[in-house]
Structure 1
Amino acid sequence: MKMLKALPFALAVLLLMALAGCAPAENVDANTTPQQTQRVSADRPETDRSGNPITLPDRVDSIISMAPSATQTLLDLGMKDKLIAVDTYSAMYFGLEDLPTFDMMEPDTEQMAVLGADLIFTTGMSASSGADPFKPLRDIGVCVADIPSASSIDAMLEDTRFIAACVGAQETCEELIAQFQKELDQLSDIGASIQDKKRVVVEIACAPDIYTAGSGTFMNEMLAMIGAENIFGDQEGYLAVTEEAVITLNPDVILTMVDYVEDPVAEIMGRTGWEHVAAVVNGDVYLVNTNAVSLPNLHVIDGIKQMAKMIYPDAYAGIEDPFASGEAA
């Protein structure tokens, strides 16, 4: 991710809680049996995850996704051939540069209309200014659906089920969720057995403008699940904190998801005044995979595994590192 775009994106995703937009529609192909068609039709959502009424086409062959988390979920569900355009981040993250792309913050809805998509997935990021840029598309009958960014893992599961119901991929979805839940339970069981909890801070943005996650966020839930204590867990949502606050709370581990400086770990280790912070003294400062801990979909399981092994390498020694041989998609 380029420096100029990385910081606004990461912060907007987590601070505005708006990185997940989608509401794909039912996908009935030539091989669908009458029984499958009936089931898909019966499960078709009539509102999106924001509560807006939607009317899904009988068949969806073309989709525009304007949120990386939604795009990744669609790829997981086998919908790559249905995608006709994506936001610029999705193209960059998932190797979809051959598709037409749109700026998430300033989408060209006139060009979208020309593409004639059956369904457009949106994210609250596109409406962060307060206006709905997709209204002209809704007004001409295009199915546009929105999913607010999930603040919990349970909400992520429901978002995934919603997407699957819209594209007629419920069976694949439940298989993915079953595997996700199996791995999550394994991590949670280990986390519940940890007695000496390490105190952790996650940096979403680095000094001097440090941002982190408090309670009511899936980041806080992920830390608690693996037996760690968020030093800012007594505060709500995503928040700005001072260097002095972090130094005073003296975390045992510092996790950074900053990917817009050359060496974020070295930047933390070299901060003036941080020489006596336990994490710095012991070298427990780690860079986590930004996508895996920020995109609210089933791939957060990879982020949870990575954080667990960084914080408690012995306790989670039996868990495979998803990034051991390179970054996961």
Structure 2
Amino acid sequence: MKKWLLSVIVAMFLVVLAACGATDEGSKQTEQTKQSKEQAVTVKDARGEEVTVEQAPKKIVSLMPSNTEILYELGLEKELIGVTSNDDYPASVKEKEQVGDMNINAEKVIALNPDLVLAHGSSIGMSDEVFKQIESAGIPLFVVNDATDFNTVYETIGNIGKLTNKTDEANKTVKEMKAAVSEIEEKAKEIKDEDRKKVWVEVSPAPEIYTTGKGTFMDEMIKIIGAENVAGNEEGWVKLSEEKVVELNPDTIVTTYDGDANEIKNRPAWSDITAVKENQIVNVDSNKTNRPGPRIVEGLEEFAKAVYPEVYN
């Protein structure tokens, strides 16, 4: 074979080889771009803002204990790098960096350089400036809804699952929660109308006595367990007089603030209330019954046993 012909063949072979390499590289880049796009997630938050995370966050700051409990439930303990001083569950959360209490230190949050900040709808208005500072630093901030019912908690867990690439874990958690609630609802069907108890929920003691009306978690819990909320005609968290409670005459009093049963019994005006006469005064864990996270189902179970021990124990 002539040398010039051999050179041409070799040159052509090198060109084809280079083209194949370029094609492979191009395919690899296209696949990487595709994966990057698949990892980007956009979810609308409580403000109506569309919040996007480009990939599963490696560093997360939580500004509310309920958000923190959801993150732990989804297996994101290592990714959680900042919390508030109000966070107390699980116990290991106290080892995390604290970024404030109800008043968040925006500079401290920004200094942690998180990939995602989870705020809460109850802070809208009070923390708007803090939110703006964090977002101005280029940090995605998602405000979860201020849940007042179980469906909103399920939605919140689902949204956090999407943002953190933990959708399967979130779905599993929600499924288990729904199953536990359904079990209680089934037992509630056994309660006859004549045995249905009237419940007074006290969320703060005298002299500023507050209870829970419709549109609150407690009201939904009372309905789920098959009882009647004596303040069910009121709206939200409401302050009522001692005389009004006497008039409502509950069968059971449930406190959510580590209440003192003796203090309640010794209120002069309450001596004729059925719950006082029959010593039906029970305290439940405020964190389990008030925090809109995975443990809210445990709170429901505790609440059910407090009102109907003969049905749910």
TM-score normalised according to structure 1 size:
0.79
1:140-174, Cα deviation, whole Å (9 max, x unpaired) = 21111101311111111111101111111111112
How far does residue 50 in structure 1 lie from its aligned partner after superposition?
3.0
Is the aligned partner of 1:90 residue 2:87? Answer: yes
Report the secondary structure of 1:280's partner residue.
helix
- Of residues 287, 307, 317, the one that matches 2:303 is 307
- Any gaps of 5 or more consecutive residues in structure 2? 1-30
Is the aligned partner of 1:298 residue 2:297? Answer: no
Would the aligned equivalents of 2:40 and 2:55 in 1 still touch at CA under 8 Å?
no
Moved more, 44-53 or 302-311: 44-53
Structure with larger RCO (C-alpha < 8 A, sep 6+): 1
Is the aligned partner of 1:154 residue 2:140? Answer: no
Structure 1 residue aligned with 2:260: 264
Distance 2:37 2:91 in 1: 28
Report the secondary structure of 1:204's partner residue.
strand
Report the secondary structure of 1:227's partner residue.
coil
Question: How many equivalent pairs are there?
Answer: 279
Distance 2:49 2:271 in 1: 51
How far does residue 38 in structure 1 lie from its aligned partner after superposition?
6.3
Identity of matched residues, %: 28
Distance 1:145 1:91 in 2: 22
Distance 1:289 1:74, change over 3 A: same
Structure 2 residue aligned with 1:29: none
Structure 2 residue aligned with 1:139: 136
Distance 1:266 1:312 in 2: 21
- Of residues 94, 98, 102, the one that matches 2:99 is 102
Structure 2 residue aligned with 1:173: 170
Distance 1:309 1:131, change over 3 A: same
Distance 1:105 1:266, change over 3 A: same
Distance 1:284 1:201 in 2: 11
Distance 2:282 2:38 in 1: 47
Distance 1:297 1:169, change over 3 A: same
Distance 1:81 1:206 in 2: 39
Distance 1:217 1:136 in 2: 31
Would the aligned equivalents of 1:122 and 1:144 in 2 still touch at CA under 8 Å?
yes
How far does residue 312 in structure 1 lie from its aligned partner after superposition?
1.0
Would the aligned equivalents of 1:102 and 1:108 in 2 still touch at CA under 8 Å?
yes
Report the secondary structure of 2:222's partner residue.
helix
- Of residues 181, 184, 187, the one that matches 2:181 is 184
How far does residue 181 in structure 1 lie from its aligned partner after superposition?
1.4
Distance 2:56 2:184 in 1: 39
1:5-84 pair list within 5 angstroms: 41=38, 44-84=41-81
Distance 1:265 1:282 in 2: 12
Distance 1:54 1:206 in 2: 40
- Of residues 259, 263, 279, the one that matches 2:275 is 279
TM-score normalised according to structure 2 size:
0.83
- Opposite residue 282 of structure 1, the aligned amino acid is E
Distance 1:179 1:52 in 2: 30
How far does residue 135 in structure 1 lie from its aligned partner after superposition?
0.5
Distance 1:258 1:93, change over 3 A: farther
Distance 1:280 1:40, change over 3 A: farther
Report the secondary structure of 2:182's partner residue.
helix
Report the secondary structure of 1:276's partner residue.
coil
Distance 1:43 1:224 in 2: 40
Would the aligned equivalents of 2:282 and 2:306 in 1 still touch at CA under 8 Å?
yes
1:217-255, Cα deviation, whole Å (9 max, x unpaired) = 121111101100000111121111111111111100000
How far does residue 59 in structure 1 lie from its aligned partner after superposition?
3.4
Distance 2:38 2:211 in 1: 42
Structure 1 residue aligned with 2:17: none
Which structure has the greater CA radius of gyration? 2
Structure number with the higher helix fraction is 2
Report the secondary structure of 1:46's partner residue.
strand
Structure 1 residue aligned with 2:223: 224
Structure 1 residue aligned with 2:203: 204
Distance 1:40 1:205 in 2: 49
Distance 1:240 1:93, change over 3 A: farther
